[in-house]
Chains A and B, each alone.
Chain A
């Protein structure tokens, strides 16, 4: 295959654009799921540390269950069975049916699973804050919300950021699982291109390159974030 063949496939036939659109969707899924996962994780971590007993039991059930079940199974469950269930419930209340698209299903499923993992990371990070700092804040009469915002979150983030950036990278790759329902994210777009043109090696390598690009960019972003969050931490030479 010559260089002109490759450029024809990617540019004139438009497959590069198809892959780029797939990458945007992959990024969209991953970002949405990451944000949802962080929110869930924060709640879970707070509940596990300070919540009443029955909520702690619930939170423990959640993290155990969702870390035990494969994401692929959850996607199939939500996309096919879940859509049916939601529409049946809506019909019972006389509401029109809703359409569950692959995008929302992916965000919800991956976000719920992420929540279970990030909850554990955040809980560990909060526990590694020297207890004296929280006691000192309380001694000043600081209220709960402010305590979380001004003391716990900033001192927890340096401990959590490495684990969270790992989670993000895993998430980007797990978003490929949504291809089973035929949602055209990066992997589906690549499969489509490979199967239509019969240039399997070329397009699967291209898909790999796109994932690598995402990883490369997000690693450097996380490095910046890490530097910023750790700016007050003591440096070990």
Chain B
């Protein structure tokens, strides 16, 4: 009896140790608290869903890490990463040279283009000349904002905190045209609310749009970056990535 007790105790103790090593591997993912379907959106009951929350869950399962989400505003994600409030940002963060100066990126896990959206009835040529004097709406701290700021000096640019506000202002005519992520806004055009809006063409390729979308980690955190790379690659190799992708996107997004 005494021996059984001892063995049980030992087993419990070992399990406890195993548990602590497991629990020590905690990762905090930063996520922007805004509806950004189909990439990330939150239900009224407080559950996150979308392509990226599912990717986070899958990646964490591969890395055997205990992951939590830390919600914040979009333009607070990189500051939060730098000030160690989060460890990873896997939230539609394009890999741009500008961002690579302050944070490190994993390999890209999807690619996307930028799309111009404007009033259906309005003839708009989305070139710097064609938009001279027009009002362009973009989300602040995005690749789209950087692109518009560089090439569209003759237009006036309005910066928004989330994409939903840009669409609302576009519908009510406060801005003439908006530039946003094609994968996000194209499905929104089918929404009856947006029936007065139409695509005005895909923006040309530009280094400012970055080289795909990757997960961001703190500069110099190479161990974590490599673990994420390995996890992302294994998800892609065994088809799990493809399964998640099919739930949210009709087309392949793993390459341009």
CB of B201 closer than 8 Å to a CB of A? no
The residues of B that contact A97 with a CB separation of less than 8 Å are 83-84
- Residues in B neighbouring A17, C-beta threshold 8 A: 44-46
Bound form: Cα–Cα A200–B34 in Å: 14
Asked if B251 lies at the interface with its beta carbon under 8 angstroms from chain A, I say no
| B71 at the A interface (CB under 8 A) | yes
In the complex, the answer to whether B83 meets A87 with C-beta atoms within 8 Å is yes
Counting chain A residues whose Cβ lies within 8 A of the other chain, the interface size class is 20 to 34
Cβ A84 vs Cβ B82 within 8 A: yes
Question: Closest residue of chain A to B33, judged by CB?
Answer: A182
When the two chains form their complex, are residues A196 and B41 in contact, meaning their CB atoms are under 8 A apart?
A: yes
B130 interface contact, C-beta 8 A: no
| Residue numbers in A under 8 Å from B33 (CB-CB) | 182, 184, 188, 192
Query: CB-CB contacts of B63-106 with A at 8 A, as 1s and 0s?
Result: 00000000111101001001111000000000000000000000
Tell whether A5 is near chain B: CB-to-CB under 8 Å.
Answer: no
Return chain B residues, CB-CB under 8 Å to A181: 72-73, 76
B164 at the interface (CB under 8 A from A): yes
Q: Tell me if A202 is interfacial: C-beta within 8 Å of chain B.
A: no
Cβ of B193 and Cβ of A80 under 8 Å apart? no
Give the CA-CA distance A93 to B43 in the complex, in Å.
42
Question: Shortest Cβ distance from A23 into chain B, in angstroms?
Answer: 14
What is the CA–CA distance of A97 and B82 in the complex, to the nearest angstrom? 11
Q: A195 an interface residue at 8 Å Cβ cutoff? A: yes
Interface check B35, CB cutoff 8 A: yes
Interface size counted on chain B using CB atoms at 8 A: 24
CB-CB < 8 A to B76: which residues of A? Answer: 79-80, 181-182
A14-B85 CB under 8 A given contacts A182-B73, A184-B33, A195-B35: no
Cβ–Cβ < 8 Å partners of B193 in chain A:
198
Give every chain B residue within 8 A of A102 (Cβ-Cβ): 72
B185 touches A (CB below 8 Å):
no
A34 at the interface (CB under 8 A from B): no
A196/B32 in contact, CB under 8 A = no
Chain A 19-35: CB-based contact to B (< 8 A → 1; otherwise 0): 00100000000000000
Contact with A along B157-179 (1 / 0, CB 8 A): 00000101000100000000000
Q: Is the CB of B83 within 8 A of A80?
A: yes
| Docked complex: A76-106 residues within 8 A CB-CB of B | 79-80, 83-84, 87, 97, 99-102
A-B CB proximity, top 3 nearest: A14-B44, A182-B73, A14-B45
Task: Using CB atoms and an 8 Å cutoff, list the residues of chain B in contact with chain A.
Answer: 32-35, 41-46, 71-74, 76, 79, 82-85, 162, 164, 168, 193
Given contacts A13-B45, A102-B72, 15 further A-B contacts (CB under 8 A): A14-B46, A15-B44, A18-B44, A80-B76, A83-B79, A83-B83, A84-B79, A97-B84, A100-B83, A181-B76, A182-B33, A182-B72, A192-B42, A193-B44, A196-B43
